[in-house]
């Protein structure tokens, strides 16, 4: 919860924050056409996208009518419930040995997320090894090395430009030999339309499935909360290759609040697993739909 108070703090800092928009929207107004137009604007400005906005709005209007709600204050909790419901998924608990593959486009914070995840599992008393499979970006391995030291976990790293699948193979072998609980795989950022890089990712995926068929294997896509509707196409492209299990929503400490997860949810059932709210090693929280929505409104 502490992390979400931090989130709320970030929100307070900015006039443009969604929370403020919601607040003024639900204060002292009648539920008329103008109200619904304004609500539509707030939702679209929050990156929910046209389709998810329409879906939520339609349900909201229907239920307001059915329950004969006429004042905005009374409708507030209803909207929150609808929004929670549209992104709330049951996620199976982790089993160990656990392998997490972290992928995403450039600059969303994959390496940072791996650093935080390492600490997260270490706090749970698990042993962790990182695989530096971003052998492409300049100094990515060094960046991960710093994180491995901060988290106090092992790192398997090859030279820059080497085969990422080989790094993963080594990390998995090392984990098997030492009985390590968690393997975290960092991958190079790639724009979803770069075919050969996407093929490379598929190769990594195959190595994991072949080498550790019995491990609990999760594939996460990291999204930048400031990303707009392009996130849909990111999810779609990565899902096709690594069958994405969940989302890590990063950079939630900015003014954007990742409204695009509603758009994603409207299209496919994909849960958010973690949210990143800063650059420190503990700035990672398990996602909880209710808390997330509360932080948008309060």
Partner 1 sequence: MGAFSGLSERLSHIFSKLKDKGKLTELEVKGAMREVRIALLEADVNLSVVKQFINNVTEKAVGEQVLKSLSPAQQVIAIVKDELTAVMGGDSSKLKVADKPPTIILMCGLQGGGKTTMCGKLAVMLRKQGKKPLLVACDIYRPAAIKQLQVVGKNADVPVFEMGQIDPQKIVKGALKEAESKGYDTLIVDTAGRLHIDDQLMDEISGLKKTFNPDEILLVVDAMTGQDAVNVAKAFNDVMDVTGVVLTKLDGDTRGGAALSIRAVTGKPIKFCGTGEKLSDIEVFHPERMASRILGMGDVLTLIEKAQNAYTEEEAREMQRKMREKTFTLEDYLAQIDKMKNMGDVSQMIGMIPGMAGKLKGQDVSVDESKMKKVKAIIQSMTPAERQNPDSIKGSHKKRIAAGSGTTIQDVNSLLKQFAQVREMMSRMSNIGKRGFRMPF
- Using rule CB under 8 A, residue 274 touches partner 1: no
Taking CB under 8 A as the criterion, the residue among 26, 147, 169, 287 binding partner 1 is 147
- Using rule CB under 8 A, residue 283 touches partner 1: no
Where does this chain touch partner 1 (CB under 8 A) — which range of 83-91, 117-125, 174-182, 188-196?
Answer: 188-196
What is the C-alpha separation between 196 and 216, in angstroms, rounded? 27
Q: State how far Cα 131 lies from the chain centre.
A: 20
Q: Which of residues 81-100 bind partner 1 (CB under 8 A)?
A: none
Report the Cα–Cα distance between both ends of the chain, in Å, rounded.
14
What is the C-alpha separation between 188 and 132, in angstroms, rounded? 9
Q: CA–CA distance from 106 to each of 136, 158, 197 (Å)?
A: 11, 20, 12
DSSP bridge partners of 102: 186, 220
- Using rule CB under 8 A, residue 50 touches partner 1: yes
Q: How far is the CB of 171 from partner 1 (least distance, A)?
A: 19
Taking CB under 8 A as the criterion, the residue among 146, 173, 268, 280 binding partner 1 is 146
- Using rule CB under 8 A, residue 34 touches partner 1: no
Taking CB under 8 A as the criterion, the residue among 152, 233, 243, 286 binding partner 1 is 233
Taking CB under 8 A as the criterion, the residue among 30, 93, 196, 269 binding partner 1 is 196
Q: Which residues lie below 8 Å from residue 148, measured CB to CB, with a gap of 6+?
A: 115, 118, 130, 154, 155
DSSP bridge partners of 73: none
What is the C-alpha separation between 121 and 137, in angstroms, rounded? 26
What are the residues binding partner 1 (CB under 8 A)?
10, 13-14, 16, 41, 44-47, 49-50, 105-109, 137-140, 142-143, 145-147, 160, 191-196, 199, 224, 226-231, 233, 251, 253-256, 259-260, 279
């Amino acid at each position: 919860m502490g992390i979400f108070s931090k989130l709320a703090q970030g929100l307070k800092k900015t006039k443009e924050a969604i929370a403020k928009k919601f607040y003024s929207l639900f204060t002292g107004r009648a539920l008329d056409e103008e109200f619904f137009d304004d609500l539509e604007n707030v939702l679209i400005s929050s990156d929910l996208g046209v389709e998810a906005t329409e879906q939520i709005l339609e349900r909201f209007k229907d239920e307001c009518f059915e329950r004969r709600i006429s004042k905005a204050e009374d409708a507030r909790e209803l909207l929150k419930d609808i929004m929670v419901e549209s992104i709330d998924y049951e996620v199976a608990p982790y089993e160990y040995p656990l392998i997490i593959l972290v992928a995403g486009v450039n600059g969303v914070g994959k390496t940072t997320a791996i650093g935080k995840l390492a600490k997260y599992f270490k706090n749970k008393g698990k042993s962790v090894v990182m695989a530096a499979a971003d052998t492409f970006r300049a100094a990515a391995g060094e960046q991960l090395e710093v994180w491995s030291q901060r988290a106090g976990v092992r790192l398997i790293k090859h030279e820059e430009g080497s085969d990422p699948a080989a790094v993963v193979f080594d990390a998995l072998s090392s984990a098997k030999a030492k009985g390590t609980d968690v393997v975290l795989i960092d991958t190079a950022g790639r724009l979803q339309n770069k075919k050969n890089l996407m093929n490379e990712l598929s190769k990594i995926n195959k190595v994991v499935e072949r080498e550790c068929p019995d491990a609990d294997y999760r594939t996460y896509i990291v999204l930048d909360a400031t990303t707009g509707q392009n996130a849909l196409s990111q999810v779609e492209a990565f899902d096709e290759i690594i069958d994405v299990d969940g989302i890590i929503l990063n950079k939630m400490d900015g003014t954007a609040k990742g409204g695009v997860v509603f758009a994603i949810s409207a299209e496919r059932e994909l849960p958010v697993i973690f949210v990143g709210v800063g650059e420190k090693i503990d700035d990672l929280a398990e996602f909880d739909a209710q808390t997330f929505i509360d932080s948008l409104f309060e």
